[in-house]
Amino acid sequence: MANKGKDTTVVIVGAGVAGLALGNFLLRKGIACIVLEKHTREYVEQRQRAGSLDAGGVRRLRDRGLGEVVEGHSHDAAASGVPLLIEGEQRQWRMGDSEDADGAFCPQQILVRNLIEVFLRDGGDLRFGADDVSLHDVDTERPLVRYRDADGVTKTVGCDFVAGSDGFHGVTRTAVPADVLTCATHVFGYAWLTVMTEVPADPPAVLAVHSRGFAARITRGPNASRVYLQCPLTDTVERWPDERVWSELAARFGEPVVAGPIVSKEVVPLRGVVFSPMSYGNLYLLGDAAHLISPMSAEGMSLALHDADVFARAVTHLVENHDSSLLEGYSDTCLDHTWQRQASAVRVTEMMHDSGDPSYEGEFRRQIARKNLEAILEPVAASHRADTAAAASVS
């Protein structure tokens, strides 16, 4: 039996950062929307993902009256920054203006949990367990979205627009004809072994450049952290028993680390991906459905918020002014911003990885990357250099 759901202005597919932010943005403007999410609420709120927002992402939330969803997670990156270890020696980033000032370390599951709570509190329509989502007639003025609800009942929702925010492996992007959609991809020459642990991170984030390779440890909540270790693209998790993970992290940090239970491991090739266009008919792609960015940049959530903000403003402009120009420019506007952030992500990814282990890109690239890195760090104090040299001569 098929039931037709209530018509709405926007159907949002996917309750990640992009979809939930968009739902909240539209709700605050009185624009009807329905958010469909394949998984249960418990699953979505516990899904571990990246945990950083740049200043632009935080500002977009605050400008929309959603500052409460990042309360208690703000930090002044210009003053504190993320600790950086180079061959075990802690270095300081140069002080001054920073585009990341007033950013936030906020694990994605916490941001998602807060966005869900606010959306439902304010009367939003969020439907968990929406499986087998399919899009129809997106190139017409009346798109349809079909799904099977948690009770197994097939429902159809008519809308003006579909927002595809269901991630890189979602179904919404497949509604764009193959001869329309293009994909640009850059694969870096290395991967990350990503390790989810039940060990808190203190401080919340540490980065390390070492001749053995890049390493990092980032908080994922009060009792969890994720470890990242640069490794060859051909590596497998079988080559990384728990003991090797902790010993390698200690070696690259240049100091002992607290070990503990490991929940999962995965080898993830570092890459950047951009799909174009980000719209087709009345379907609009947001977040990971439209692009992936190197995790070294910590820009994934911020890019998702940018897309949601641009789309919400465009729909609001159409509703309030009967002017579709912002919607027509959505793809170009978002792609311009995406490529700017991709360019920055490539620079920082290459700088942080090429500065360490020369076996990947060679000694020439290592020296260039190290000079680029030194240019954004405070110089080593002369007295410290003298102490280091004296210690080396004694040893």
For residue 128, what are the β-bridge partners?
37
**88 neighbors 211 (Cβ within 8 angstroms):** no
Q: How many helices (H) and strands (E) does the chain have?
A: 11, 19
Q: Judge contact between 258 and 164, C-beta under 8 A.
A: no
Domains and CATH numbers, the chain: 8-80+103-184+271-350 (3.50.50.60)
Measure Cα distances from 30 to 98, 149, 306, 320 in Å: 35, 25, 20, 11
- The 3-class secondary structure across 50-72, one letter per residue, is CCEECHHHHHHHHHCCCHHHHCC
- Looking at residue 50, what is its pLDDT? 64
What does the pLDDT look like over 187-218, one tens digit per residue? 999 999 999 999 998 888 899 999 999 999 98
pLDDT at 21: 97
pLDDT, tens digit, 9 for 90 and up, residues 71-109: 766 544 433 468 899 999 999 988 654 455 567 777 788
Model pLDDT, residue 219: 82
Burial of 41 (0-12, 13-18, 19+ CB in 10 A): middle
The helix (H) or strand (E) run that includes residue 46 is helix 41-46
pLDDT at 95: 67
What is the rounded CA–CA span in Å between residue 143 and residue 172?
12
Is the pTM here over 0.85, yes or no? yes
Residue ranges in the chain whose pLDDT is less than 70: 1-6, 49-51, 72-81, 95-102, 382-395
The strand pairing partners of 163, in sequence order, are: 12, 284
